[in-house]
């Protein structure tokens, strides 16, 4: 009996020590001023490309500002990262500067109550108004751009197109015809789909949105008011395209298990011809198969009618400061953000990453040696044939779209069922945000 109670006691003490230790570790995160120097923390996602830019940026910043040190923290990507950011903001544990999505995800952070208004900063006037819109509420502008904008487009292998004598399609039927020809030719997979990374399945739907806007200008605002749905034209086209590719057997045979990295490799090697993808994926090709970068081009996901074909644009991430950053740290954090968007900061961004599209601040310009694919995207912008993705025009984005589009693209459900499921999926999101009409 006594031996047992001793063990119990030891376990209890051990447990208590761990708990107290844990609490102490938590509170230590708050204050870290050291000898006149200000230390600020900078939170980024744990993608390798993000760190590759962040570390040299910090080094350059610390060199220019010797009295400030910047501590780099990382967070997971995707929905786990979203939750972490929300939790840290609501408990006051957020880093002094953090890098996060713009658009609907940023709106979900309750910015008026949690973020510092940056509209009075000197760089703010240089920012593209389209970007300003997606990091602002009625009460202020909360984010500075970081990185380039990018498209949701079909990345294609130009060598395959040349060998088969194909030209860039401007209508959906031409796109399907091209794909059929590639299929007849044999070895090359006409369209790459990679459901091993489920998010990649959404591109046919999300990347079609500029075409929707072209057909009906106010679709996004009507959608926010619950007056438009995905089950009807023009929006249902995205789901129909996804189903058509599967019906006509145009996808790579390992579409169900391949990952995005597999898909990009297929594209670079020419074993896959066309990949609906976010164009910032070009940086992965640059890293993994640098020789193939020049073979890659991009075109907008075609609409039914050539006149409606537009490029869907994603805005870059933003840099934000939480309201919990105060005093010296706030000043240092603002300096850091200004530095990131100065010509020096832009140089670091250009040197360390491969731009996936144009910058959204006039102080940053693309280097001369960008991949040729960026030129393809620039054409759409120059012709005024580009418009933002839905997540930058409406706060409504259902959490299950990637699963629903996997089902449609795998032939588990039909396009009509998928569209209907997605309409149900967004209801909860709209209610959570307290939007009228839902």
Q: Site residues (CB under 8 A) for other proteins? A: 1, 5, 12, 15-16, 79-80, 82-83, 86-87, 89-90, 108, 110, 113-114, 195, 198, 253-254, 256-257, 399-400, 403-404, 406-407, 410, 412-413, 421, 424, 428-429, 431-432, 434
Considering the complex, what minimum distance in angstroms separates the CB of residue 207 from other proteins?
20
C-alpha distance across the termini of the chain, in Å:
63
For other proteins, the closer of residues 107 and 309 by Cβ is 107
Q: Tell me if 381 sits within 8 A of 311, measured CB to CB.
A: yes
Considering the complex, what minimum distance in angstroms separates the CB of residue 364 from other proteins?
32
- Residues 163, 181: Cα–Cα separation, whole Å: 11
How many Cβ atoms from other residues are within 10 Å of residue 350's Cβ?
Answer: 20
Pick from 103, 90, 154: which is nearest to 392 by CA?
103
Considering the complex, what minimum distance in angstroms separates the CB of residue 297 from other proteins?
28
Tokens 């999300």 correspond to: 206
Considering the complex, what minimum distance in angstroms separates the CB of residue 170 from other proteins?
32
For other proteins, the closer of residues 225 and 323 by Cβ is 323
Pick from 2, 399, 315: which is nearest to 132 by CA?
315
Considering the complex, what minimum distance in angstroms separates the CB of residue 273 from other proteins?
19
Considering the complex, what minimum distance in angstroms separates the CB of residue 315 from other proteins?
21
For other proteins, the closer of residues 2 and 343 by Cβ is 2
For other proteins, the closer of residues 120 and 187 by Cβ is 187
Q: Tell me if 146 sits within 8 A of 101, measured CB to CB.
A: no
Considering the complex, what minimum distance in angstroms separates the CB of residue 295 from other proteins?
25
For other proteins, the closer of residues 64 and 412 by Cβ is 412
Vertex 14 angle, CA 12 and 19, to 5°: 95
Q: Distances from the Cα of 373 to the Cαs of 96, 211, 298, 359, 414, in angstroms? A: 36, 20, 6, 15, 33
The secondary structure element, H or E, covering residue 168 is none
Q: Is 179 helix (H, G, I), strand (E, B) or coil?
A: helix
Q: Tell me if 283 sits within 8 A of 159, measured CB to CB.
A: no
For other proteins, the closer of residues 87 and 221 by Cβ is 87
Helix runs in 307-370, H state only = 327-340, 343-352
For other proteins, the closer of residues 16 and 306 by Cβ is 16
């Amino acid at each position: 009996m006594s031996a047992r109670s001793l063990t119990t006691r030891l376990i209890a003490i051990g447990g208590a020590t761990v708990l107290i230790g844990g609490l102490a570790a938590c509170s230590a995160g708050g204050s870290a001023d050291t000898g006149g120097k200000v230390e600020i923390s900078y939170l980024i996602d744990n993608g390798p490309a993000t760190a590759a830019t962040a570390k040299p940026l910090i080094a350059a910043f610390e060199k220019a500002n010797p009295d400030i040190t910047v501590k780099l923290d990382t967070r997971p990507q995707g929905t786990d990262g979203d939750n972490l950011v929300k939790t840290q903001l609501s408990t006051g544990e957020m880093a002094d500067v953090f890098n996060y999505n713009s658009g609907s995800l940023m709106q979900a952070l309750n910015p008026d109550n949690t973020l510092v208004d940056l509209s009075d900063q000197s760089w703010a006037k240089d920012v593209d108004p389209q970007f300003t819109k997606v990091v602002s509420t009625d009460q202020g502008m909360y984010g500075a751009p970081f990185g380039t904008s990018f498209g949701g487009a079909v990345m294609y292998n130009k060598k395959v197109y040349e060998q088969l004598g194909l030209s860039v399609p401007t209508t959906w039927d031409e796109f399907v015809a091209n794909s059929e020809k590639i299929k007849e030719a044999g070895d090359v997979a006409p369209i790459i789909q990679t459901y091993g990374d489920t998010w990649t399945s959404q591109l046919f739907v999300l990347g079609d949105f500029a075409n929707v806007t072209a057909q009906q200008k106010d679709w996004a605002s009507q959608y926010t008011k619950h007056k438009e749905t995905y089950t009807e034209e023009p929006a249902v086209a995205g789901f129909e395209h996804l189903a058509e590719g599967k019906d006509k057997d145009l996808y790579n045979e390992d579409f169900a298990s391949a990952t995005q990295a597999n898909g990009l490799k297929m594209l670079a090697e020419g074993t896959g011809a066309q990949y609906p993808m976010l164009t910032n994926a070009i940086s992965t090709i640059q890293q993994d198969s640098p020789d193939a970068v020049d073979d890659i081009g991009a075109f907008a996901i075609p609409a039914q009618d050539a006149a409606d074909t537009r490029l869907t644009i994603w805005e870059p991430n933003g840099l934000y400061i939480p309201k919990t950053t105060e005093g010296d740290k706030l000043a240092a954090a603002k300096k850091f953000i200004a530095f990131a968007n100065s010509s020096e900061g832009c140089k670091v961004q250009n040197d360390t990453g491969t731009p996936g599209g144009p910058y959204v601040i006039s102080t940053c310009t693309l280097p001369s040696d960008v991949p040729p694919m960026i030129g393809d995207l620039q054409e759409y912008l120059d012709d005024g044939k580009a418009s933002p993705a839905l997540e930058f025009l409406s706060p409504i984005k259902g959490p299950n779209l990637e699963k629903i589009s996997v089902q449609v693209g795998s032939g588990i459900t039909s396009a009509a069922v998928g569209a209907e499921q997605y309409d149900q999926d967004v209801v909860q999101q709209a209610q959570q945000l307290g939007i009228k009409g839902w």
